[in-house]
Amino acid sequence: MTTPLLPDGLVAVVKRDCPTCVLVGPVLAEVRDRAAEPLTVFSQDDPTFPEETGGAHDDRPLDVSFALELETVPTLLRVRDGQETARIVGWSRDQWETFTGVAGLAAGLPDYRPGCGSLTQDPAIAAARATREGEQQLQARRLTLGDQEDDAEAMYERGWSDGLPLVPPTPERVVRMLAGTTRDPQEIVTLVPPDLVECTVEKIAINAVMAGCRPEYLPVVLAAVEAACTDEFNMHGLLATTWFSGPVLVVNGPITRAIGMNSGINALGPGNRANATIGRALQLVVRNVGGGKPGEVDRATLGQPGKYTFCFAEHEDAYWEPMHVERGFAAEQNTVTLFAGEGIRGVVDQISRTPESLTRTFAECLRSTAHPKLPLAFDAMLVISPEHLRVYADAGWSKARFREEVGALLQLDGADIVRGARGIEEGVPEAFRELTLPKFRPGGFLIAHAGGGAGLFSGIMGGWASGTVGSESVTREVRT
Amino acid sequence: MTTLLDPTSERTPGTRERAPRPDSLAGTTVGLLDITKARGNVYLDRIAELLAARGITVLRFAKPTFTKPAPIDLRHEISTKCDVVIEALAD
């Protein structure tokens, strides 16, 4: 849509669907016959209009009107060397006579009539135009389906799906998705494993469309992809492992409210579009851009349903500071934290009303992460519910105090965890018998707060090979 | 008629020929790569014993962690020092 070259002289833009334009139809014929310079007329909706000038140049595509940024028709311009030098809008006899240099115009007409809105001001037309322009910037290969081809089936056949239906990534939808970020569609965000291919904002937007995201989720998806593809998070290994884990996304900051994420009832379950589709978009990027597919590089023995999507917002209006603040960000910053987690399992304690007792419950349950006799090897995330957190709030236990107390209870006695101890062959080598080892490495125990207001239950998700051996949790700020 | 944008990397994986297999290990240097999974050393120790008994030169290597691809320097070192490599994928 290049800017059309304007002819020198007078240029008028009109539309039939405008009473003022109809009124000035004969005036334009008069100007054409009597003015010292040539007149060119463009019509936005009907090239046979105005009949008095024998029709007009066809501007139904609105290329001229958009190029001129018209707000009103009729608009009369003066053009010199292809450039606009002056314009008037609507109908005013005095203005038109001065502008055209033709005296005594249109004797029978009223002196003044306001113009009408240019078609370029129609929001639907403007949006469609922006989409067409955006589509021309897209670089991804276009696949044209046959008339008889079912689009849902076509996407399955090409191997793009995780097994669930996808939203067809049409150019129009991808352009709308890209409006969710200020980043250049061709910016390379990262290298996506396992194939380590350069991944643009556009490719992520395509996968976000397929996942079912709205454009306002795209910045979170971009941050999640960035976090996943760091050496610390080690998405390659997480994908390839025979273990259950996949990326679990915890989103923090005001954006969670702005885009309507769920941190309350059923926060880790279905029913919320943002929660469901942001996590899925990351998985689809790994699958489609990175080439990581189950049964190929994804070697999971059993896998788990959280590998379709596992994303939730933290409930931040709470007694304990939220996860991103604990990890060094400001409360008003938007972040996404990735944890290499397995599925959630429940912790029930409906009796404890003291933090001492409840902390012992958590310690007992956390100890069994991966295996009760394995220290340091696996991380964990505790998702504490409102009713459990209230026990700590009522007693004035800070998050730091809880960490300290639960950490003390998770010191494992070597004699109890060596291979063969307690009749179990699994365990640490005999050389560790005299040592005391913590269940979790420093940084290997995450705490999030989410859930509905009723239920003295919390959740634990085990991690994967921890830290530099496997995966380190990574937090990234969400950029616009 | 629907137009869709390709969500993939738009690349087709290349295929490479396998390195030619030696007819015999006599006179070769064999690299043993431990990916550092639990008990991989048990397997490789035994392989090393058996190879040494046949008078074959054995070099031992280990990945820093089993969860990540072998560093490029390590791959380069193995390829320049060894004729054959045996990798232990154990648990």
- Model confidence pLDDT, tens digit, residues A451-476: 999 999 999 999 998 888 899 999 99
The rounded distance, in Å, linking the Cα atoms of A50 and A56 is 7
Q: ipTM exceeding 0.90? A: no
**For residues A274-290, average pLDDT:** 98
SS3 state of residue A264: coil
Mean pLDDT of all residues belonging to chain A: 95
pLDDT in tens, A292-327: 999 999 999 999 999 999 999 999 999 999 999 999
Domain A9-121 class? Answer: alpha beta
Q: Which residues of chain B neighbour A292 with C-beta distances below 8 Å?
A: none
pTM of the model: 0.85
Contact: A195, B11; criterion CB under 8 Å = yes
- Region of A71 (left: φ > 0; alpha: ψ -120 to 50; beta: rest) is alpha
Asked whether the predicted pLDDT for residue A198 surpasses 60, the reply is: yes
CA angle A280, A224, A208 (to 5 degrees): 40
- What residue spans define the domains of chain B? 29-88
The rounded distance, in Å, linking the Cα atoms of A130 and A133 is 5
User: Which of A142, A178, A188, A242 to mutate to test binding with chain B, by most B CBs within 10 Å of its CB?
Assistant: A142
pLDDT at A1: 44
Is residue A369 within 8 A of residue A439, CB to CB? The reply is yes
Chain centre to alpha carbon of residue A264: 21
Contact: A138, B5; criterion CB under 8 Å = yes
Q: Which of A103, A84, A114, A99 is nearest to A24 (CA)?
A: A114
Q: For A171, which of B3, B9, B65 is closest by C-beta distance?
A: B3
Q: Which residues of chain B neighbour A168 with C-beta distances below 8 Å?
A: 2, 4
Contact: B67, A234; criterion CB under 8 Å = yes
Asked whether the predicted pLDDT for residue A2 surpasses 60, the reply is: no
Residues of chain A whose C-beta is under 8 A from some C-beta in B?
138, 140-147, 149, 151, 154-155, 160, 168-171, 174, 192, 195, 197, 199, 202-203, 206-207, 210, 231, 234, 236-238, 240-241, 284, 288-291, 465, 468-471
**Cα distances (angstroms) measured from residue A3 to each of A46, A65, B21, B70:** 21, 10, 64, 54
Q: Name the amino acid, one letter, at B74.
A: L
Contact: A237, B9; criterion CB under 8 Å = no
Q: Which range has the worst mean pLDDT, A2-16, A179-193, A392-406, B56-70?
A: A2-16
Nearest CA in chain B to A464: B67
**For residues B25-32, average pLDDT:** 94
Confidence of residue B91 (pLDDT cuts 50, 70, 90): confident
- Region of B10 (left: φ > 0; alpha: ψ -120 to 50; beta: rest) is left
pLDDT at A130: 85
Asked whether the predicted pLDDT for residue A413 surpasses 50, the reply is: yes
- Interface A-B: count of C-beta contacts within 8 A: 90
Q: Which of A357, A390, A368 is nearest to A439 (CA)?
A: A368
Q: For A291, which of B9, B65, B66 is closest by C-beta distance?
A: B9
Asked whether the predicted pLDDT for residue B13 surpasses 90, the reply is: no
Which pair of structure tokens corresponds to residue A154?
A: 């076509």
Contact: B8, A471; criterion CB under 8 Å = no
Confidence of residue A4 (pLDDT cuts 50, 70, 90): low
CB count within 10 Å of CB A161 equals 16
- What residue spans define the domains of chain A? 9-121, 151-477
**Cα distances (angstroms) measured from residue A152 to each of A157, A437, B43:** 9, 53, 48
Which pair of structure tokens corresponds to residue A446?
A: 């995450």
**For residues B55-76, average pLDDT:** 94
Sign of CA dihedral B17, B18, B24, B29: positive
For A312-325, give one letter per residue: b (16+ CB within 10 A) or e. Answer: bbbbbebebbbbbb
Confidence of residue A3 (pLDDT cuts 50, 70, 90): low
Asked whether the predicted pLDDT for residue A9 surpasses 70, the reply is: yes
Q: Which of A109, A124, A126, A120 is nearest to A19 (CA)?
A: A109
3-state percent breakdown (helix, strand, coil) of chain B, nearest 5: 25, 20, 50
pLDDT at A6: 87
Residues 6+ away with beta carbon under 8 Å from A163: A308
